[in-house]
Structure 1
């Protein structure tokens, strides 16, 4: 050996790579050079043992040390390769046993050694051979942690997958389309990331009162579905008529291959013509073809009255979102003046992320600023798109300022935080934020309501109060400034995102020059030309979303 190092040092480096792979939940590139170096070290130590061996004499202490190092290197090599084999098996089952999906990914393929590629192919061959023995009775690639509740599922195409053979025939899955298909036919595409299950349509269908639509009895439909001949009866019950009678739907006859059970059910319930004008949710959801598939809403469909209402997330997901938001605020708020406001996290790692907002407040930046706030695919938001920020000064401000300053929307919310951060950094140095109080408020269960929906909504009324102590040194006078700010963050009962931020108090209260600076900053960012001079009341009121001074406060 040309350099001096301890026995087992290379093997320790190999184990550290496995540890990093476990902590980051990623598969690192196979370290072929380090593995070969350890093997060469093994051979050198075996030659050293042969040179120290003396027949008929007890082994010297140096031989015991070398043999211990050899055993340690072997264990480290086995642990490293065993860890990689476990990662490969997890990747294989994560994509539903689709080996071509793994090997076609150049990023993953570049991290594998030739021996690992051969292992995956042999492992896949063993799985296929094992499945062939009882493929008609059991699918070992199906997940058992979340068993399916429905035979059919509404999916949205994320990536083009081409023509797929399903129970209903050949379907060309193109990006952006939606289809109602049998879950067993496309389960592997959902696992591989080509399709995603659409929850919006399922919730929309659940809001329809079937008793008012004069639909066939549910037990009859259930019997037909269990007979194995008709898989989708409710979704293929209504067909669109011409535009002159768009508000009416009528049952359509089942296909010839549907079987006698479907024909009898159709003959019993084919007479009445159903008027769906009183059910806009049903009208907007029954845009299905003869195959029972749905691609998109027709142009003459009635608008969904609940389009702006976000779908409710499950209780467990709601608790995870609220708890995670409180944790992110507590951990990142002390670094607000350095990194900015954290508005999202990484879905895979949970690391906080700050938005790439406009930092130069010029009229030329107004166009980009007013664009819709778009998150990346790997980001999950912490704030609602309609988040509201409000603050009522202890002393009423002179016109054109309203009594309560408030902005709505994630764009204006981010702009407010950006202006405050840049203004404070321009006036003060060594800015620091220290959290002195954080209280989470949840509803008490003293008098639970009888209605289950009201009980669920009340249990989701959560907010937290945070008190922060801000300090900084004025750049001009050199004096230290201190502020105590107390705010209340309220979570949305439906999505678990922060949708309201109320500043309860600021001590000492900001001077009017601060509000003039904010007004000027908003004017430059929006490109409205508001300067430090007096402007029109309508323009300033629009920025703060307040009423003009001549309007009566409500």
Structure 2
């Protein structure tokens, strides 16, 4: 028995004690977990101005092309919906597309010039309400939108003559308006308009909207009614405007 005990002790396998593994604690989470993953914006020689500051300030070429493209898409999407009651003037003429100094030019029999985005919006609202008063089922159709050839240097505004030709961008839009007169005979009335939009060569925003032609021409009485309506609205709106705000509608025949 003693021999058996010695044999058992000789064959005993000694297993070393398991070593405790030490795992370092995870690093603390940052207070702003996504801050370090935000991409670094590229830098340009002409960075975009802060929001609300100098919207017509110069921008770099890439941003300028983006703004012009955005303006084209906006016109293509909204011009067919000019009489959509769900769209207001702010929706149709947003500040990220139209310059605050945009100028509207109307041909005969409305030979007037309307400067400023606020006046531009209110002139449109006045015209739309007038058409709604005289017609039902008003709608617009976008017939054509094309790039216009660059302007000749002598025809540019004084502040734009030193800009490169690649930034002289204009779009010509053929638009038809149609509706049913409220008074008999209730035959569908239709007008075709040619519109020239000019982009600011510095900011890429729409700086000018010129209605080149209206076919058929409205009667002289209609033209005078619209002009006097706009001029009358101007005289009433100026005293009620905020400090530093003025609306000036010019009769270009004077």
TM-score (norm 1): 0.33
For residues 438-449 of structure 1, what are the structure 2 equivalents within 5 Å?
A: 438-441=145-148, 443=150
Call closer, same or farther: CA 1:125–1:443 in 2, change over 3 Å: farther
1:519 matched to which residue of 2?
227
**Does structure 1 conserve the Cα–Cα contact (< 8 Å) formed by 2:56 and 2:205?**
no
Mapping 1:413-492, distance limit 5 Å? 413-441=120-148, 443=150, 457-477=164-184, 478-492=186-200
**Which of the residues 188, 204, 215 maps onto 1:507?**
215
CA-based RMSD of the aligned residues comes to 3.8
Question: Residues of 2 paired with 1:148 and 1:488: CA distance?
Answer: 34
* Cα deviation, residue 427, structure 1: 0.4
Alpha-carbon deviations, 1:6-60, whole Å to 9, x = none? xxxxxxxxxxxxxxxxxxxxxxxxxxxxxxxxxxxxxxxxxxxxxxxxxxxxxxx
1:410 maps onto 2:117 in alignment: yes
**TM-score when normalising by structure 2:** 0.67
In 2, distance between residues paired with 1:525 and 1:513?
A: 18
Q: Quick one: structure 1 residues 512 and 124, their matched pair in 2 at CA, closer, same or farther if it must change by over 3 Å?
A: farther
Residue 41 of structure 2 aligns with which residue?
A: 146
The residue number in structure 1 matching 2:250 is: 545
Select the structure that is richer in helix.
1
In structure 1, distance between residues paired with 2:134 and 2:76: 25
Instruction: Encode CA deviations 1:118-148: one digit per residue, 9 max, x unaligned.
Output: xxxxx992458xxxxxxxxxxx938554367
Equivalent residue number for residue 255 of structure 1 = none
2:106 corresponds to which residue? 391
Size of the aligned set, in residue pairs, is: 205
Q: Which has the higher strand share?
A: 2
Aligned-pair CA distance for 1:341: 6.9
With over 3 angstroms needed to count, the CA separation of the structure-2 counterparts of 1:481 and 1:462, relative to structure 1, is same
Tell me, yes or no, if the aligned pair for 1:332 and 1:342 is still in contact at 8 Å: no
Q: Deviations over 1:465-520 (max 9, x none)?
A: 11011111110111211111111100000111111111111100111222222233
The SS at the match of 1:313 is coil
CA contact (8 A) 1:343 1:381 kept: no
Equivalent residue, structure 2, for 1:85: none
For residue 526 of structure 1, report the CA deviation from its aligned partner. 3.1
Does structure 2 conserve the Cα–Cα contact (< 8 Å) formed by 1:341 and 1:417? no
Whole-angstrom distance in 1 between the partners of 2:48 and 2:215: 48
For residues 418 and 459 of structure 1, do their structure 2 counterparts lie closer, same or farther at Cα, with a shift above 3 Å needed? same
Please tell me whether residue 327 in structure 1 is matched to residue 73 in structure 2.
Answer: yes
Please tell me whether residue 316 in structure 1 is matched to residue 62 in structure 2: yes
Task: Give yes or no for contact 2:48–2:59 (8 Å, CA) kept in 1.
Answer: no
Deviation string, structure 1 residues 295-327 (Cα, Å, up to 9, x no partner): xxxxxxxxxxxx989420111111111111111
Q: Distance in 2 between matches of 1:442 and 1:501?
A: 16
Asked if structure 1 preserves the Cα contact closer than 8 Å seen for 2:178 and 2:188, the reply is yes
- Tell me which residue corresponds to 1:337: 83
Which residue of structure 2 aligns with residue 125 of structure 1?
A: 28
Structure 1 alignment gaps of length 5 or more = 1-122, 129-139, 151-196, 201-306, 345-352, 356-378, 445-453, 530-541, 550-554
Partner of 1:20: none
Distance of 2:177 and 2:213 partners within structure 1: 13
CA-CA distance at 1:354 after TM superposition: 4.6
Mark the runs of 5 or more structure 2 residues left unpaired by the alignment.
Answer: 1-25, 152-160, 238-246
Mapped to 1, the partners of 2:84 and 2:43 lie a distance apart of 47
Any idea what SS the aligned residue of 1:125 has?
coil
More contact order relative to length (CA 8 Å, sep ≥ 6): 2
Contact 1:333 1:341 in 2 (8 A): no
